[in-house]
A and B are shown apart, each in its own frame.
Chain A
């Protein structure tokens, strides 16, 4: 079973920041938080991941709470092309295994 809880859907106005929450209250100390998104009928696309520090890349920012029990993915200026299902996943990033366990994700709809 997925170890994360996400709202099933969210709306965001184009040009505004999209803040997608994720609860992972049972996360272990050696588990990372990964975010992927899936645009309709395409394969999942890697966005970002982090352990305990906040992370930022060209796509998004990841804010992880100090207790690591929740996180927020931030798309700073959402566009219509950001409409997708966003998956928050926790996993042990070890070399010997590491299949991803997906939940149902959050369907983000960016509206004009």
Chain B
């Protein structure tokens, strides 16, 4: 399968714990996006990488959230000191080199439940 993959698919944690999610984009895609989706809502943009550079961050990305893409391939999203309000589906998407056909392709998501 050559699509976007995300791990784990599900994560249950207790409030106050740290969690880390991984996203592997479509190979050779140099753009990678993270979104968050809560129940009944559409996905909301969190942050965006071009290669290893983090170029844009949403105001939703509080200082408890950090994202990295160290070698311009896979990315990780870490949430420190999780809160119940962090419970959501975390989606990753990737896209190619840009231009009019810069379509984003999404992974299956990681569902986080904070107890």
Name A's B-contacting residues (CB within 8 A): 2, 32, 34, 36, 41-46, 49, 51, 85, 87, 93-105
Nearest CB of chain A from residue B105's CB, rounded to whole Å = 6
What residues of A have a CB within 8 angstroms of the CB of B102 in the complex? Answer: 93-95, 98
14 additional A-B pairs beyond A93-B100, A95-B97, A102-B42, beta carbons within 8 Å, are: A32-B100, A41-B111, A42-B108, A43-B106, A44-B91, A46-B104, A94-B102, A96-B55, A99-B33, A99-B45, A100-B35, A100-B43, A102-B44, A104-B41
B87-115 near A? 1/0 per residue, CB < 8 Å? 00101010101111111111111010000
Q: Which of B43, B58, B100 contacts A44 (CB 8 A)?
A: B43
* Number of cross-chain contacts by CB at 8 Å: 71
Cβ-defined contact, A46 with B98, below 8 A? no
Tell me whether B56 is interfacial, beta carbon within 8 Å.
Answer: yes
Could you list 9 examples of A-B contacts with CB < 8 Å?
A: A43-B108, A44-B93, A46-B103, A96-B50, A97-B48, A97-B55, A100-B45, A102-B41, A102-B42
Nearest CB of chain A from residue B77's CB, rounded to whole Å = 15
What residues of B have a CB within 8 angstroms of the CB of A103 in the complex? Answer: 42
- Please report whether the interface of chain A is mostly helix, strand, loop or mixed according to DSSP: loop
- The answer for the CA separation of A97 and B107 in the assembled complex, in Å, is 19
Among B35, B44, B100, B107, the one with the most A-chain Cβ atoms within 10 Å of its Cβ is: B100
What residues of B have a CB within 8 angstroms of the CB of A45 in the complex? Answer: 106
Cβ-defined contact, A46 with B33, below 8 A? no
Query: Quick one: closest B residue to A30, CB to CB?
Result: B100
B44-97 CB contacts (< 8 Å) to partner A? 44-45, 48, 50, 55-56, 58, 89, 91, 93, 95, 97
What residues of A have a CB within 8 angstroms of the CB of B107 in the complex? Answer: 43
- The answer for the CA separation of A45 and B48 in the assembled complex, in Å, is 19
Nearest CB of chain A from residue B82's CB, rounded to whole Å = 21
Q: Which of B44, B45, B95, B109 contacts A43 (CB 8 A)?
A: B109
Nearest CB of chain A from residue B24's CB, rounded to whole Å = 13
With A42-B108, A43-B108, A44-B91 as contacts: A102 and B100 at CB distance below 8 Å: no
